[in-house]
Amino acid sequence: MSLLLPMSAFALAASISPGPVNLICLSSGTHYPIVKGLIFVTGATLGFIALFLGIGAGLYALLTTVPLLEVLLRWAGVAFLLYLSIRLAMDDGKLPVQATTKPPGFITGALMQWLNPKAWIASASGIGAYTMGNDPAQIAMFAALYLPICWLSLASWVYAGAFLKRYIQTPRLLVAINRLLAALLAASCLFCEALYTAFWVTPKNRSCERRRVWGHLLYLSQ
């Protein structure tokens, strides 16, 4: 029980801080009805929880036995997120009554987390910092805490986007916002990839103790 508050604080800091998925939530709120954004949020939340439980069960250890698969997964994520940032940068800033493009949906949200370096870092560092020996009961409790916190955190970004849509109607200003979001999305993607590489790639960084240190540093940096 003494870990509930620290776990919750870590989950909130990791979930609500800017990252690729958060920025897509913000963009979704500015372009589509809130309910569409919340569908994406639900997919992203459940996708993250599945990833979290998978890492707790030893998924990353399994991936390290096939280095090529690990590299492909990492760079597929980078390419996908950079593609989204380019699409966002090219948006014309117009807000028609009915959106003409398809919003990111449940499946997109779930898949994005598996391609999102921030999600891998948050999962591994949280499990390393707040569970003892990857204890299944503690991981399950952590996941149960993480689920509502993650959903509410991502939903807040959708509502922030809806606020912008409601009060900022000038296309020129929205174009500037879209390009800023695109730049932030690309930067956050590359930063998370660099952090992911520093966290995982060298063997000395794979020790349990180093994961605990990185977990606390990630929390304190939010």
pTM of the model: 0.73
Task: Say if CB 116 and CB 24 are below 8 A apart.
Answer: no
Mean pLDDT of the chain: 77
How far is residue 216 from each of residues 40, 134, 221, measured CA to CA in Å? 29, 17, 9
Q: What is the pLDDT of residue 204?
A: 43
The answer, yes or no, to whether residue 200 has pLDDT greater than 60, is: no
Confidence at 189, pLDDT banded by 50, 70, 90: low
Question: Residue 121 and residue 113: Cα distance in Å, rounded?
Answer: 11
Confidence at 40, pLDDT banded by 50, 70, 90: very high
The answer, yes or no, to whether residue 50 has pLDDT greater than 80, is: yes
Q: Considering only 48-62, 120-134, 139-153, 164-178, which range has the smallest mean pLDDT?
A: 164-178
Residue with tokens 């540093």: 217
Confidence at 220, pLDDT banded by 50, 70, 90: very low
Q: What is the pLDDT of residue 14?
A: 85
The answer, yes or no, to whether residue 168 has pLDDT greater than 90, is: no
Domain ranges of the chain: 4-221
For helices 106-114 and 20-31, angle between their N-to-C axes, nearest 10 degrees: 160
